[in-house]
Amino acid sequence: MSNIVAIVGRPNVGKSTLFNRLVESRKAIVDEVSGVTRDRNYGKSTWNGKDFSVIDTGGYVTNSEDVFEEEIRKQVHLAIEEADVIIFAVDVEGGITDLDQAVASILRRAKKPVFLAVNKVDNHQRIMDSHEFYGLGLGDLYCISAMTGSGTGELLDAVVKNFTKDQEVEVEEGVPKFAVVGRPNVGKSSFINALTGVERNIVTEVAGTTRDAINTRYTKYGHDFYLVDTAGLRKKGKVHEDLEFYSVLRSVRSIEDSDVCMLLIDATRGVESQDVNIFNLMIRNKKGVVILVNKWDLIEKDNASVKKFTEQIHERIAPFVDVPIIFMSALTKQRIFKALEAAIEVYENRQQKLKTSKLNEVLLEAIERYPPPSIKGKYIKIKYVTQLPSPTPSFALFANLPQYIKEPYRRYIENQIRENFNFSGVPLQIFFRKK
């Protein structure tokens, strides 16, 4: 199960610089799903063999020059609720400010491990200056320079030692794990209740997990599946819901732990930016996706409604539009069975391993029909294609000059794969390699 590290602190102390440094180390080994822009606020990292997610809470503040104490307070509270470990960043140049004091007083009461990172300690003089931060009453100081990286190793050693979720949760192989995610009030709990016939608060928890995320297994409508982190639906009042990153932070863990995510969208509100944020989080994690347009019962429909709504969704999630969309109602239970079927299908699509012979037969012909454009008079020849043995569908195309193959051609190949095989709802990775 994934561990989540949140970076909190007032603006300009260096949170995003630190975030970039932590995520950087990982970037080289993990290939991003192509076509997805990198998230400035959420990323993966690894240290001493332990993988974790990093969230820069400050990155979600729209206007960081003019941030209100109240907003920072909310962020810190949310980080405490959702993250496993918190890095509190302060700035040695500015010394302790009122805002630092305010954040520290919240963190002192937090029942989560907190690490105080005194940033911009670029030289020895500044180590002396850093001592005043003992005054925040948060214990040890980690003097770092996010810019040069000095001290970040010691900080990470301490951070990963405090992970609580390093054991894999016991789940049976081959049984799909679904996450139900979406903005507050889109109908997640109603949907789960309708689907499982169990009220949320009496959902039984699988033994062996002590807190937070829980996988609950169901057999419904002839299908066997887990719902991941239904505990994540617990209501926390409305205090944080207006925050842009609320849904992201609340969804991260269940998305990471699932195979397929069911993203609920509120039909009465259309596609909103929080919906798109969550969608991108799923794609970045290479999860299967089904979009469920809920509260369809409330819409005055005509012949064009489905088409119009579909177009609106496609516009917001492009270029990855090969995703099942189901129009449903958790209230009337209309199409909830279909929603489950769609998720099962996406799970199966994501599991499939294509035969190399079939793949080559189809793709080499497509490549012959439309070869990569030659560059500087050099011909690019793709010789063969294979699906990699990775947990999510990835393909390698071997070529004489892979470095000259550009994004539009990669997209062409992806479209060809999608046209010839069923990868609906499944993000694909395509690599060009030297042969």
Min dist CB 402 to ligand GDP, Å, is 35
Q: How far apart are CA 331 and CA 338, in angstroms?
A: 15
Confirm whether residue 90 is marked as ligand binding.
Answer: no
Stretch (H or E) spanning 104: helix 98-108
The reply on whether position 196 binds ligand GDP by CB under 6 A is no
Confirm whether residue 166 is marked as ligand binding.
Answer: no
Q: Of 14 and 288, which has the nearer Cβ to ligand GDP?
A: 14
Min dist CB 290 to ligand GDP, Å, is 16
Confirm whether residue 234 is marked as ligand binding.
Answer: no
The reply on whether position 239 binds ligand GDP by CB under 6 A is no
Q: Of 45 and 119, which has the nearer Cβ to ligand GDP?
A: 119
Confirm whether residue 15 is marked as ligand binding.
Answer: yes
Q: Of 72 and 426, which has the nearer Cβ to ligand GDP?
A: 72
Q: Of 233 and 354, which has the nearer Cβ to ligand GDP?
A: 233
Confirm whether residue 14 is marked as ligand binding.
Answer: yes
Residue 406 phi/psi, 5° resolution?
-105, 170
Min dist CB 357 to ligand GDP, Å, is 46
Confirm whether residue 149 is marked as ligand binding.
Answer: no
Amino acid at 25: S
Residue whose entry in the numeric block shows the structure tokens 């599946």: 225
Q: Of 64 and 164, which has the nearer Cβ to ligand GDP?
A: 64
Q: How far apart are CA 371 and CA 352, in angstroms?
A: 27
The reply on whether position 329 binds ligand GDP by CB under 6 A is yes
Q: How far apart are CA 328 and CA 307, in angstroms?
A: 15
Q: How far is CA 154 from the centre of its chain?
A: 27
C-alpha angle with apex 395: 389 to 397, nearest 5 degrees? 125
Residue 183 phi/psi, 5° resolution?
-60, 165
Q: Of 64 and 360, which has the nearer Cβ to ligand GDP?
A: 64
Beta strands in 243-306 (DSSP E): 260-266, 288-294
Confirm whether residue 338 is marked as ligand binding.
Answer: no
Q: Of 186 and 260, which has the nearer Cβ to ligand GDP?
A: 186
**For the chain, what is the total number of helices (H) and then of strands (E)?**
12, 15
The reply on whether position 402 binds ligand GDP by CB under 6 A is no
The reply on whether position 12 binds ligand GDP by CB under 6 A is yes
Q: Which residues pair with 224 in a beta bridge?
A: 219
SS3 286: coil
The reply on whether position 215 binds ligand GDP by CB under 6 A is no
Min dist CB 210 to ligand GDP, Å, is 24
Residue 233 has which token pair? Answer: 């639906």
Task: Give 207: exposed, middle or buried? Use CB within 10 Å, 0-12, 13-18, 19+.
Answer: exposed
Q: How far apart are CA 284 and CA 262, in angstroms?
A: 15
Q: How far apart are CA 51 and CA 9, in angstroms?
A: 23
Confirm whether residue 297 is marked as ligand binding.
Answer: yes
Instruction: State the number of binding residues for ligand GDP (CB under 6 A).
Output: 32
Confirm whether residue 295 is marked as ligand binding.
Answer: yes
What spatial distance separates the first Cα and last Cα of the chain, rounded to whole Å? 37
| Near ligand GDP by CB under 6 A: residue from 17, 196, 416, 420 | 17
Nearest to 126 by CA among 146, 108, 155: 146
Q: Which residue is nearest to ligand GDP (CB)?
A: 187
For ligand GDP, the binding residues in 117-136 under the rule CB under 6 A are 119-120, 122
Q: Which residues pair with 179 in a beta bridge?
A: 261
The reply on whether position 75 binds ligand GDP by CB under 6 A is no
Q: At what angle do helices 246-256 and 69-82 cross, to 10 degrees?
A: 10
Min dist CB 44 to ligand GDP, Å, is 19
Nearest to 320 by CA among 279, 358, 361: 279
| Near ligand GDP by CB under 6 A: residue from 57, 189, 247, 274 | 189
Confirm whether residue 294 is marked as ligand binding.
Answer: yes
Q: x/- string (CB under 6 A) for ligand GDP, residues 136-155?
A: ---------xxx--------
The reply on whether position 330 binds ligand GDP by CB under 6 A is yes
Residue 138 phi/psi, 5° resolution?
-115, 15
Report H helices in 138-205: 152-161, 188-196
Binding segment toward ligand GDP, per CB under 6 A, in 67-75, 102-110, 116-124, 403-411: 116-124
The reply on whether position 393 binds ligand GDP by CB under 6 A is no
Confirm whether residue 427 is marked as ligand binding.
Answer: no
Min dist CB 206 to ligand GDP, Å, is 21
Q: Of 123 and 352, which has the nearer Cβ to ligand GDP?
A: 123
Burial 82-98 (b: 16+ CB within 10 A, else e): bbbbbbbbbbbeeeeee
Kindly list the residues in this chain that would bind ligand GDP in the complex (CB under 6 A): 9, 11-17, 58, 64, 119-120, 122, 145-147, 182, 184-190, 233, 294-295, 297-298, 329-331
Binding-site residues for GTP:
9-16, 56-60, 119-122, 182-189, 229-233, 294-297
